[in-house]
Structure 1
Amino acid sequence: MVTRVATYTSHNLLTNLAQRNAAKVADLSNQASSGVKSRTYSGIASDTQQLLNLEGSLTRNGQYINNITQVKLRLQNMESATSSMSEIATRMKTLLLQGLSNSQADDLNLDEEGRQAMAQVNSLLNSTLDGRYLFGGATTDSPPVNLAQSPIPDTYFAKVAGSDTATLGSIGGTTAGSLDINGQTITYAPTDTLKDLADQINQLSPPPAVASVRADPGSNNYRLVIEDFSGNPMSISETGGGNLLDGLSHNPALSAETGYYQGDQKHLSARVDEDYSVNYGVRADDPAFASLVAGLRIIGSTTDEDSLRMALGHIEYAIENLPNVGSKIGIDTKNVEEIESQHRDFAVFANNAVSDIENVDIPLTLIEVEQHKTALQASLMTIAKTTDISLVNYLR
């Protein structure tokens, strides 16, 4: 068959159309079998930049989710350790009450119980995850706690019966004067209450010692307690002619060692979004932990009843405040979970967008294949008819 001058243009047009339909059928067939529009970026040239942006965002988003997963694991370990310390504190309180109510501290081996509990707390505060210490702030490569170096506080105290609003005159401070505590001066009058004195000490900057008025468990007594946790003897003297110091009993420190906490004053930190790093967790120098350590240190070192009652005060403070530590950890967990939820929502959106760019709707593509096949067959039939035209056939 010969293409004539008269049919050349229409023959070329039909041939080109058939070739395009054949290429489209082949391309759509490949898409239907593979499920993707193209194996190369050139095949989706108009959407390539958008696809690259989405893929980059998904990579960063995935790293943030991984960071948050690590943060949640660390917080879960912290929460578990804090819960275990609450159980230890509660058990030691029970033993202390039994020992103090019947003067059975020796029979109950309280000192040995205290030392064993101290070893457990030491292990919990030195908890690690993936080789990183959890309770040392930003110092994660070395143990934050050495409880062998935890000092027993040097303590001055006085007991009163029946009321936590007793006056200083009731404990021997019958003459107005002033006390020098570790180089800082406070003034007092006999009509000041124990709480007034404690507040005045604690409000100095920095406080020269820690003062409190607390119930004496197992009795009707209240106790004014002034404690120095530095591990050094407290320097306390009358400087203003009063006589309050005469009414205070002295329970000297049994050690003069440095503090147990060896971490830093920062917090753990993690990048959880493009421009957002979150600080999280608690440190081993939290007051609740410090009180538990102080109480256990006293219990493990002495069977003196006054000392054990002050240890009980520390243990009760720990029992009251360790749940607050757990709540802080819980709040941190909730905060990062909210950010994680946002990232997971974005991942769903971005993956759907990537899928729309890269993938095909297979049923719809198969319909398009059939449509282009039909068009191709029509083109081929038309080409066959045009190549069969002759004068003889025309005259017929």
Structure 2
Amino acid sequence: MALRNAAKVADLNTQQSSGQKSRNYSGIADSSQRLLNLEAEYTRTEQYLRNTTQTKLRLQNMESAVDTMMDIAVKMKTLLVQSLNANQAADVNLDNEAKQAMEQIASLLNTNLDGRYLFAGGRSELPAVDIDKMYAPDNYMSKSGTTITDGLTLASLGVTDGELQIVSTDIDGNSVTSTVDYDPATWTIGDLRAAINGNTTDGAIATLRGLDEHEGPRLNIENVGNGSITITEIAGGDLLDVLGMTKIPNPRPDTSYYAGDQQILSSRVDDGYNVSYGVLADDPAFQSLIQGLGIAAGTTDQNAINVALGHITDAIDNLPNVQGKIGLNIANIERVETRHQDYKVFASQAISDIEGVDVPLVVAESAQYSTALNASFIAISRASELSLANYLR
């Protein structure tokens, strides 16, 4: 009995000092499997919470970037309207404002968190956009108000003999030069385009299209890539003057500025549940904003500025959709996060209930067993004093 009491007192003292029922699973054999299951679930829940925290932080950074882009777009729209209404593009310093806005947009689309470029899709180790490719490439466009078709002869437009020199330069500074010797008497606009397009080394292409879908076609001679182009008359011709060919930024849709891929990121936030999240830097809303800024940064032409205004207005109309998409991603993450946090509290309490002890109760129980142990020791001590001589007395 004394040995059992001594073992119980030692066990209760250990529980009292550690706050746990046992230092190993054998001490709680009847609850060990449930404890193991709860601990595994707790560990998994903690990992899911780390995933949701990381994903939500990325989304919040993206949301902040898009909010700032909206502010920039609204400011630039105001400047463009002022420029068009007052016919004072130079006075509002539109080109410099557009260039500064473009630099801000590039920085926002290259938002980096923990070494990851958030708007680059799966290629997150590289910047999402290249600012040198964000500016609209050079383009020579005929004047508005003149209907241009492939069947028109150059002579009918009043063009005299001449020769064009076309110098195209890519964004790395490499340039090529070609010439087009045209004959107004026999050549049509279609022949001129074929001569330019058939020269595979000049880096230029001739097309028929308007500044936007609302106007009729004009003649465009543009850089094939994102570089610059310079066209001059070198044999006394007047094609450029007659057609009113003006050098303006190219209004064509272009996402060559985007260096990422099309992979939408996903995060494992629960058993069998992945959340796809985020947007890419080539989203149409960003593309419209970049296109409008690229045009505004390179011209004071009122027609071109009006087109730039249209692109930026489109961006303002569509950026809320991007904001809403990111906000929905955050809301989905937070719902899962709340569920995991609730379960973590439950599991923590359940584990504590299995492993832990009621310390005041253990203290009282220990006191009882200590009293019993002391009584056992007294009984043993008295029993050890018994002898035949003492008995005969």
TM over 0.5: yes
Answering whether residue 126 of structure 2 is matched by residue 129 of structure 1, we say: no
Partner of 1:146: 130
CA RMSD of aligned residues (A): 3.4
How many pairs are equivalent? 305
Q: Relative to 1, partners in 2 of residues 1:66 and 1:251: Cα closer, same or farther, differing over 3 Å?
A: farther
Q: Post-superposition shift, 1:323? A: 1.8
State how far apart, in whole Å, the 2-side matches of 1:40 and 1:34 are: 12
1:298 equivalent in structure 2: 295
Alignment of 1:108-127 (within 5 A): 108-127=92-111
In the alignment, the residues of structure 1 paired with residue 134 and residue 204 of structure 2 have an alpha-carbon distance, to the nearest angstrom, of: 11
* Residue 274 to residue 232, structure 1, CA distance change in 2 (3 Å): farther
User: In the alignment, which residue of structure 2 is the partner of 1:213?
Assistant: none
d(CA) in 2 for partners of 1:358, 1:253:
79
> Would the alpha carbon gap of residues 380 and 48 (structure 1) be closer, same or farther in structure 2, given more than 3 Å must change?
same
Alpha-carbon shift at residue 360 of structure 1 (Å): 1.1
User: What amino acid does structure 1 have at the position aligned with 2:225?
Assistant: E
- What code does the residue aligned with 1:38 have? S
Alignment gaps of 5+ in structure 2: 151-202, 227-255
- 1:303 aligned partner, one-letter code: T
Asked if 1:37 is matched to 2:21, the reply is yes
In 2, the alpha carbon distance for the partners of 1:278 and 1:388 equals 80
Whether the 8 Å CA contact 1:156–1:249 is kept in 2: the answer is no
Query: Could you tell me which amino acid in structure 1 is paired with residue 218 of structure 2?
Result: H
Task: Report the counterpart of residue 264 of structure 1 in structure 2.
Answer: 261
Q: Is the partner of 1:271 in helix, strand or coil?
A: strand
- Aligned mates of 1:375, 1:349 — CA distance in 2: 39
**Equivalent residues in 2 for 1:48-63 (5 A)?**
48-63=32-47
Q: Does 1:93 align with 2:61?
A: no
TM-score, L = length of structure 1: 0.69
* 2:269 counterpart SS class: strand
Q: How does 1:1-396 map to 2 (within 5 A)?
A: 17-150=1-134, 152=136, 248-250=216-218, 252=220, 255-257=223-225, 259-383=256-380
Aligned CA distance change for structure 1 residues 233 and 343 (closer, same or farther; 3 Å): farther
Q: CA deviation at 1:41?
A: 3.2
CA distance in 1, matches of 2:220, 2:101: 23
Distance 1:323 1:298 in 2: 23
* AA partner of residue 13 (structure 2): S
CA distance in 1, matches of 2:21, 2:270: 32
Does the residue aligned with 1:278 lie in a helix, a strand or coil? Answer: strand
Question: Does the 8 Å CA contact 1:261/1:285 hold for their aligned counterparts?
Answer: yes
- Secondary structure of the structure 2 residue equivalent to 1:317: helix
TM-aligned CA deviation for residue 104 of structure 1? 0.3
Query: What is the identity, as a one-letter code, of the residue corresponding to 2:26?
Result: S
Structure 2 vs 1, CA of residues 365 and 346 (structure 1 numbering), >3 Å: closer, same or farther? Answer: same
Which SS does the other structure have where 2:46 is aligned? helix
Cα distance between partner residues in 2 of 1:67 and 1:138: 17
How far did residue 126 of structure 1 move? 0.8
Say if 1:156 and 1:248, in contact at 8 Å, map to a contact too. Answer: no
Per-residue deviation at 1:296?
0.2
| Cα pair 2:122 2:261 within 8 Å, conserved | yes
Which residue matches 2:234? none
CA contact (8 A) 2:208 2:220 kept: no
Distance 1:114 1:314 in 2: 13
Which sits farther off after the overlay, 139-148 or 280-289? 139-148
CA distance, structure 1, for counterparts of residue 15 and residue 37 of structure 2: 23
Q: 1:91-135 deviations in whole A, cap 9, x for unaligned?
A: 111111111111101222211211111111111101100010000
Q: Aligned AA for 1:329?
A: I
The answer on whether the counterparts of 1:151 and 1:256 sit within 8 Å (CA) in structure 2 is no
Q: Is the 8 A contact 1:133 1:144 kept in 2?
A: yes
Residues 253, 321 of structure 1: CA spacing in aligned structure 2 closer, same or farther, 3 A cutoff?
farther
Residue type at the aligned position of 1:24:
K
